[in-house]
Each structure stands twice: as structure tokens, then as C-alpha cells.
Amino acid sequence: MGAEAGGASQAPVGKPLSPPKNIDPINGYRLWSAEYDETPNPLLALEMRALSERLGDVSGSRILDAGSGTGRWMNWAQSRGAHVFGVDACREMVLKGEQKPGLAGRSAIADIRSIPLRDNAVDLALCSFTIGYLPSPGEVFAELARVSRRFIVSDLHPDTVRRGWTRSFRAGNQVYELLHFPHSITAIDDCARMAGLVPEWRIAASFAEPEREIFRRAGKENVFEEARHVSAVLITVWRK
């Protein structure tokens, strides 16, 4: 199962898929950006369900999405009265987000290890499915701690890597696997402590009935029962 389950598009009928091809994250998301929002993704749905239930009232809060992509979390937060800003290294993904109502001019094309914001600029930062694309989480934790008082990191649970899950998508008859770096929970916790952070709470979220239909639409309902017993997404909230 690909971590980005669903794929950018289905292969043409009667045409077999080519062997997976490795691709770096920026070029991968550049290729995927055109259809990213149109592709149902059970991992993103699971994260949204698990995290939005815990975020509570964000009205009036200043929120940064570090690794904002097409603005999924920015859109969610702004619709609930938050003041939002996003940064992402992939120009094509940022431009897709800028087209959404109210998000024009709210994003910057930048590396999340060097965020163009002053110290303590936001109340909350969110880093969603991005840590795994960087070789060392330490730089990201230090930068998020600089610009925010509190932040959330979510990514594939390390258990999924051990089970052979990949970060992948499909374009035409080609499957692309995004290059990534597996980080253990211990390594993540060590980086957080070095940045002077303490955890508020952590959840290991698993698929449930709300995600079944997404598996079915992706033609993967046959693996749903197995997948629902795996801790798929690890979400941790840190504060200074």
C-alpha cells in the first residue's frame, strides 16, 4: 500500500503499470500537483479526522502550515476563523493552494528549515507529512520552535515503514515512490528535547469505518481490514 494511497490517476485500461520509479519529493509533488486535490487519500482523511477533533477552537489564532502543499490545513483553519500562513518548497503545490478562496497571498515558497517569519510569529504551527522527506528532524524542530509557541508534527507512523508501506503515487501507468527518511519515535523525541520542547499529547491513529469508502474508491478495499489494525499516522503536539 502506498502512503499516498489512491494515486494521481488510474492506469489506462488494459495497460499494465510500469515498475515503481524513485523520485525526489519536490519533483514528485510537482508532477502530482495537477491532480493532488482530486485524488481521495485515506491517510490525509485519517489525519484530518484524528487531529481536527482535538484542535478545538482556533478562531483568532495565528497558524502556520509548514509544508502546506495545496493548503489543505490552511483552508480548514481559515474557515474556522484562524489567521493562516503557509510555506512549502514546491512551487506548483503552493500555486494550487493560492487558487483556493481566501488563500491568495497567504503562502511562501520556502524551505521549512528556514521559515520567513520572525521569532514567535504564530500561536500554532503544523507540520503535516513533511518531516519524513528531510534527513534530520532536528533542523525542523529548531525552526518550528523559533517561530511558534506550540506545534504539531504528524507523519507516517514508523511501524508502517517496517511493514513496507511506501510514500507513492500513480501518474498514468507509472507509480512513483517518493524518496524519504524513516525517523524512529526515539529520534523524533530526542530532536524535540534538544530544541527545548516538551510533549503535550501524542496519538497513533488507525483507519476506521470513515476511511473504508476511500479504500473502496481507490480499488483497495481488499486491504482495508488489514490496514485498519496498523498504527498508520503518528501525531504529536509539542510546546516550549
Q: 26: exposed, middle or buried (C-beta count within 10 Å: 0-12, 13-18, 19+)?
A: middle
CA–CA distance, 191 with 137 (Å, rounded to integer): 7
* Beta strands in 24-116, from DSSP E residues, in sequence order: 62-66, 83-88, 107-109
- Asked if residue 204 belongs to a domain, the reply is yes
- Report whether 70 contacts 103 (CB < 8 A): no
For 104, other C-beta atoms within 10 Å of its C-beta total 10
- Asked if residue 7 belongs to a domain, the reply is no
- Asked if residue 142 belongs to a domain, the reply is yes
- Asked if residue 61 belongs to a domain, the reply is yes
Instruction: Kindly report the CATH number assigned to the domain that includes residue 207.
Output: 3.40.50.150
- Asked if residue 60 belongs to a domain, the reply is yes
- Asked if residue 27 belongs to a domain, the reply is yes
* Beta strands in the chain, from DSSP E residues, in sequence order: 18-23, 62-66, 83-88, 107-109, 124-128, 150-156, 168-171, 174-178, 198-205, 233-239
Give how far Cα 61 sits from Cα of 58, 77, 151, Å: 5, 9, 13
CA–CA distance, 5 with 3 (Å, rounded to integer): 5
Residue type present at position 34: A
Residue ranges making up the domain that contains 235: 18-239
Domain count, the chain: 1
pLDDT one digit per residue (tens) for the chain, 240 residues: 334 433 333 233 334 467 899 999 999 999 999 999 998 899 999 999 999 999 999 999 999 999 999 999 999 999 999 999 999 999 999 999 999 999 999 999 999 999 999 999 999 999 999 999 999 999 999 999 999 999 999 999 999 988 989 899 988 889 999 999 999 999 999 999 999 999 999 999 999 999 999 999 988 899 999 999 999 999 999 999
- Asked if residue 5 belongs to a domain, the reply is no
CA–CA distance, 84 with 100 (Å, rounded to integer): 13
Helix axes 209-217, 42-55, angle to 10 degrees: 150
Phi and psi dihedrals of 176, rounded to 5? Answer: -110, 130
For 30, other C-beta atoms within 10 Å of its C-beta total 15
- Asked if residue 155 belongs to a domain, the reply is yes
